Amino acid sequence: MSSLVYVASNNANSTLAGNLTALSTSFSVYTGQGSRFPVINDGGTDNNQYTKVTFQKADGTKEIVNVVRHDTGSDSFTIGVPGTVVGSVSGRAQEGSSATTLAIGDVVSCRPTADLMEEAVNLGAKIDASDAKTAIHDDDTFGVSDSEASALTKKTTWANIKALLTTLFNTLYLPLAGGTLTSNLTVNGHVTLGAGKTLIYEGTTDDAHELTVSGGEPTADRTQTHQDATGTIALIAVKEVIGCFPAAAMKVPTTAGAATLAWTESTTNKVMTGYLAFDKDTQEHAQFSFRAPNALDESAGFSARFIWKEAASATAHDCMWQIEMQAQGDGDTIDSAWGTAVTVTDTGAADKRYISPETATITPGGTWAAGDEIIVRVSRKAADAADTLDVDAQLIEVVLMATYAVSAEA
């Protein structure tokens, strides 16, 4: 049911056009004077409107009734219960008055009554005394004075209020879901990024390139302190050579191992070159190891170059080298699995030293942590169709590269 609406007209009065009994539920006023009174639920399309009418007999006796229907242009009125029953004797004898018989010519008027005045004056007190509501729903309504419509009283919903407040606050403050800060930000406390979150710096140009600042997974609380000086702080990922491992430093395994270390001496300048020979038909291996520096960026992995030469009398010269790694720390199983093998192909010639292209990223098997021993296995993929060298490949050295996370302050 809609909220009840009281409708009134100033100084509305007339006289009865017919007699009424104490049970009458309708009445008419003098012809043409119905227009003095408010229209109530015109045409019967609604029943939430009502007004109070006072009858006054010649002897001064008064009765107050509820009028629930009065159509436009009509001199007839219907008495009833506001919001529920049209044409009911229950609409008679309101506010302590008594139902009475009435005669033609008795006065009919709209005037303020005690209940209406108390309702208006004591509205605030009634609200204070009503039940509290803590959970407000989107369809709950609130009254407003419309400043754009001559201060007419109108209603709005909690959903509308929330939408207006959201728009207002989003223009004043950054929403928790994120937004664009257009001026300086001062933070008088700590700033904590959630797990896996980063700081992104756009730079002077709004383009597709940004600087992302992130941290690794700490194993304890870490503190980074910068010097008390003016300058530029640069956080740089630097890829550097971390070691050159000659054939003399490599071990030949018992199973499918390369030939043992051999040396050659150049004819004119007597340059000595140590190497391990790898067969042209069978995949053979050699190994070496090193301890990884703590400052390496484990997520970036390694890369490698092969320094090699070929035996004399070759008719084709493409050689495919392969490298694989595993990381072993305290308590790890010695007989652990290798990481994914990575290959690189290079083209040689007799009596020349060749440096292969850099491999793709090599990721050690196991869980690599700072300070782990990195075990490296190299081999020649002799059976691969891309390897066409038809003599031994002679490995002189393997150069390893990795990325350091370097910070510099100028």
User: Residue 356 burial (CB < 10 Å; 0-12/13-18/19+)?
Assistant: buried
Asked if the domains at 5-120 and 240-409 fall in one CATH topology, the answer is no
CA–CA gap between residue 346 and residue 308 (Å, rounded): 10
What tokens were used for 400? 């390893």
Which residues fall within 8 angstroms of residue 284, CB to CB, at 6 or more apart? 256, 257, 258, 259, 278, 379, 380, 382
Alpha carbon distance 164, 172 (integer Å):
13
| pLDDT surpassing 50 at residue 1 | no
Share of the chain above pLDDT 70, in %: 94
DSSP strands (E only) in 162-271? 199-201, 211-213, 233-246, 262-265
Q: Report residue 39's pLDDT band, with 50, 70 and 90 as the boundaries.
A: very high
pLDDT score recorded for residue 174? 73
In the predicted structure, residue 155 carries a pLDDT above the cut 70 = yes
Mean pLDDT check: name the lowest of 13-17, 193-197, 310-314.
193-197
Cα separation, 375 vs 327, whole angstroms: 6
Q: How many CA atoms lie within 13 A of 174 on its CB side?
A: 10
pLDDT in tens, 285-339: 999 999 988 888 888 899 999 999 998 887 888 999 999 999 999 999 999 999 9
Confidence of residue 391 (pLDDT cuts 50, 70, 90): very high
- CATH number for 5-120: choose from 3.40.50, 1.10.10, 2.40.30, 2.40.50: 2.40.30
410 has pLDDT over 60: no
Is pLDDT of 24 > 70? Answer: yes
Tell me: the pLDDT tens digits for 249-281?
Answer: 999 999 999 999 999 999 999 999 999 999 999
pLDDT digits (tens, 9 = 90+) for 212-256: 777 667 777 777 776 676 766 655 678 899 999 999 999 999 999
pLDDT of 273 reads 95
Task: State the pLDDT confidence band at 184, using cuts at 50, 70 and 90.
Answer: confident
Q: Which two tokens stand for residue 243?
A: 């070691």
State the pTM of this model: 0.47
Domain spans in the chain, listed from the N-terminal domain onward: 5-120, 240-409
Q: What is the pLDDT, as a whole number, of residue 121?
A: 78
Superfamily of domain 240-409: Galactose-binding domain-like (2.60.120.260)
For tokens 């728009």, name the residue. 167
Query: How, if at all, do strands 49-56 and 5-6 pair?
Result: parallel
Whether pLDDT at 409 is above 70: no
In degrees, rounded to 5, the angle at the alpha carbon of residue 397 between the alpha carbons of residues 396 and 402 is: 165
